[in-house]
A and B are shown apart, each in its own frame.
Chain A
Amino acid sequence: MKMTAVKENTAIKSRPEKTGEIVIHIKGLKKSFGEKHVLKNINLDVKKGENVVILGRSGTGKSVTIQCIVGLLRQDEGEVEVFGEEVSQMNEKELKALRIKIGFLFQSGALYDSMTVRENMEFPLTRILKLDDQQEIDRRVEEALDSVGLLDAIDKLPSDLSGGMRKRAGLARTIIVNPEIILYDEPTTGLDPITSREISDLILSIQKKYKTTSLIITHDMECARIASDRVLVMSDGEYIAEGSFADLRKSNNKIVEAYFKDIS
C-alpha cells in the first residue's frame, strides 16, 4: 500500500509552528549497566516542532537515551528535563501526566497481540483519555487509522499484519492521543527499502501536519535524510557530531564518513 502523506485528521489538533522553546533538555547524562558504561556524557536540547535524528550503531545507547526521557530508565547522573520538569524527580502521577504528552513508537510497533487493531486504538482513548462516548471513540480510531492508510485492517489481529503495517498501526496508536512529542525507536528497522521510505515519509508528514516534536533513533540513513531537521551521531555513549544531514555529509570525522560512505 503506497502512502506518502498524512490525510486530514480532525481529531488531532494542529499546533503552532516552531517557537524555539526547548521541550527536551539533557545535560551530562550518564547511564551504566553493571560494568558497561552505556551513556558517558550526553547533552541534547530539542526545540518544539523540531525533528531530531540520533544516528548510531547498535548498542551505542540510543534507545537508552529515549528510555530515560520517558522515565522507563533512570539515569545515574545528569539532567533529563521534559517541558522544563526533571523526569527522574517525578512521582508516579506526574510521570503518568508527562507520558500522555509523549508518544513512543517502539521498534516492533508493540501492538497488544491479544487485541484487534481497533481495540489497540481504543485502549489509550478509554484508559488514558477516559473517553466513554463510543461514537467519538469510533471516529477518532477511524481517523487515526485513515491517517496511516490502515483503515482496511481495523478488525485484524496484529499477527495478521506485516511488519510495515504493524509499525503504521503502532504509529496510529501513538498519534491518536495527540502527543506533543513523539519518540521513534528505530522505526524502519527490519523493513524493506520501499516500506522504510513510506514510514520515513509518514514520520515527516505527521510532524509537518500536527507540529509534533520528534526524536528519531535510527541507523537508517534514508530515514535520517528524509525525516531530519538535525542529526546527531552517537558513538560509544557520546555524541561525536551534530548538524543537518547535508552538513554531516561533508564531515571529515572517520565515524561520520562511514555512515555516509554508501549514500549517493
Chain B
Amino acid sequence: MAEEAVIPGWKRWFENIGDQVAFFSKFVRNIFTGGFEWSEFVRQCYEIGYRSMMLVGITSFIMGVVLILQLRPTLIAFGAASMLPKTLAVSFVREIGPVIIAIICAGKIASSIGAELGSMKVTEQLDAMEVSGANPHQYLVVTRILATTFMVPLLSVIGDAIGLFGGFLALNMRDSMSFRLYFTKVIGSIDFSDFIPSLVKTIFFGFAIGFVGCYKGFNSNKGTESVGIAANSAVVTASLWIFVIDAIAVQITSLLFYN
C-alpha cells in the first residue's frame, strides 16, 4: 500500500477517466435493471425544470433585448435593419440560447446536485443507502441525470421563445413592427437544420450537467469542505463540457447541413 502515497499526476488523471467510465457504465446498467424510480424522477424534473424556469426566462428575455439593442446600429449602418428579426432568431436558436441556458443550468443545477450528493456522502447517507441493500445509483444518479437530460432541452426551447419575445419588445422600443410581422420573419428564418441540431446538442448539455453533478457529488471526500469543492468543481467541469460539446456539435452540424 505504501506506493499509493505519491501518485503521479498523469496516473491520477487516467484513474479519474477510468472512474468516470465506470460511473457511466453503472448509470447505463441501472437504467435498465432493478426497476425505475418514477416518483423520484418526476420530483427531480420538477426541481430541475420548473424551479429553473424563472431564472432561465429572465436571462433569456434580457439576452433577447440586449442582442437586438447591440445588433441594431450595425445592421442599420449596412442598411439591413429589416434583417434584425432573422439575425436574432438564427443566432439565438442556433447558438446563443442553448449555450447561455446550459451555462445557467450548469451554475444552478450541477452545483445543486454536486452539493446535495456531496453532503449526503459527508453525512453517510450514501453509505446508509448502500449498506441497507438499496441502490443509490438507481435512486439518486439515474433519476437526476435523466431529469437534466429531459429538462435542459425543454428549458432551452422555452428560453428561446422568451428570448425572441424579448427581442420583439426591444425592437419596438426604437422602431415599430407588428407582433405578427416580427414572428412571421422569425419563423420564416428558422428551419429544421437550425432547430433540430440545436435541440440535440441541448440533450447532450443536459446529460453533461447531470452526469458531472452526480459524479462530483458521489466522489467527494468525507469533509464539510469537500461539499463546497464538489459543487464548485461540478459547475466548472460542466461549463467546460458544454463548450466542448458545443464545439463538436458545430463541426458536425456544419458538415451535415451547411457544406
List the one stretch of A102-110, A134-142, A242-250 in contact with chain B: A102-110
Type the 1/0 row for A77-117, where 1 means its CB is closer than 8 Å to any CB of B.
00000000000000000001101101010111011111000
Q: Is the CB of A96 within 8 A of B124?
A: no
Which residue from B4, B116, B131, B134 sits with its C-beta under 8 Å from A104?
B131
Q: Is the CB of B128 within 8 A of A110?
A: yes
Please give, as numbers and ranges, the residues of chain A lying within 8 Å of B5 by CB-CB distance. 34-35
Q: Is the CB of B125 within 8 A of A72?
A: no
Q: Nearest Cβ distance between residue B43 and chain A, in whole angstroms? A: 9
Please give, as numbers and ranges, the residues of chain B lying within 8 Å of A32 by CB-CB distance. 1-2
Q: Is the CB of B2 within 8 A of A35?
A: yes
Q: Is the CB of B128 within 8 A of A106?
A: yes
Which residue from A33, A37, A113, A128 sits with its C-beta under 8 Å from B132?
A128
Which residue from A37, A70, A108, A127 sits with its C-beta under 8 Å from B131?
A70
Q: Nearest Cβ distance between residue A185 and chain B, in whole angstroms? A: 8
Please give, as numbers and ranges, the residues of chain B lying within 8 Å of A111 by CB-CB distance. 125
Q: Is the CB of B1 within 8 A of A76?
A: yes
Interface residues in B, total, Cβ within 8 A: 19
Which residue from B4, B127, B139 sits with its C-beta under 8 Å from A127?
B139
List the A residue with the shortest CB-CB distance to B2: A35
Q: Is the CB of A177 within 8 A of B2?
A: no
**Interface of chain B, main secondary structure:** helix
Q: Nearest Cβ distance between residue A37 and chain B, in whole angstroms? A: 8
* A-B interface contact total, Cβ < 8 Å: 65
Q: Is the CB of A124 within 8 A of B132?
A: yes
List the B residue with the shortest CB-CB distance to A170: B128
- A259: Cβ under 8 A from any B Cβ: no
Give the bracket for the number of chain A residues in contact with chain B.
20 to 34
Q: Nearest Cβ distance between residue A94 and chain B, in whole angstroms? A: 11
Q: Nearest Cβ distance between residue A80 and chain B, in whole angstroms? A: 14
Q: Nearest Cβ distance between residue B114 and chain A, in whole angstroms? A: 15
Q: Is the CB of A34 within 8 A of B4?
A: yes
Q: Which B residues between 98 and 156 are near A, CB-CB below 8 angstroms?
A: 116, 120, 123-125, 127-135, 139
Question: Given A34-B5, A35-B5, A177-B132: A72 and B123 within 8 A (CB)?
Answer: no
Q: Is the CB of A104 within 8 A of B128?
A: yes
Which residue from B123, B129, B134 sits with its C-beta under 8 Å from A113?
B123
Please give, as numbers and ranges, the residues of chain A lying within 8 Å of B139 by CB-CB distance. 127
List the B residue with the shortest CB-CB distance to A110: B128
Q: Is the CB of B4 within 8 A of A102?
A: no
Type the 1/0 row for B53-90, where 1 means its CB is closer than 8 Å to any CB of A.
00000000000000000000000000000000000000
Q: Nearest Cβ distance between residue A40 and chain B, in whole angstroms? A: 12
Please give, as numbers and ranges, the residues of chain B lying within 8 Å of A104 by CB-CB distance. 127-128, 131-132
How many Å lie between the Cα of A70 and that of B129 in the bound state? 12
How many Å lie between the Cα of A123 and that of B134 in the bound state? 9
Please give, as numbers and ranges, the residues of chain B lying within 8 Å of A173 by CB-CB distance. 132
Please give, as numbers and ranges, the residues of chain A lying within 8 Å of B134 by CB-CB distance. 123-124, 127-128
Q: Is the CB of A128 within 8 A of B124?
A: no
How many Å lie between the Cα of A124 and that of B1 in the bound state? 36
Q: Nearest Cβ distance between residue B34 and chain A, in whole angstroms? A: 9
Q: Is the CB of A108 within 8 A of B132?
A: no
Please give, as numbers and ranges, the residues of chain A lying within 8 Å of B2 by CB-CB distance. 32, 34-35
Chain A residues near B (Cβ < 8 Å): 32-35, 37, 70-72, 76, 96-97, 99-100, 102, 104, 106-108, 110-114, 123-124, 127-128, 170, 173, 177
Lowest 8 CB-CB distances: which A-B pairs, in order?
A: A110-B128, A32-B1, A99-B133, A110-B124, A104-B131, A127-B134, A100-B133, A106-B124
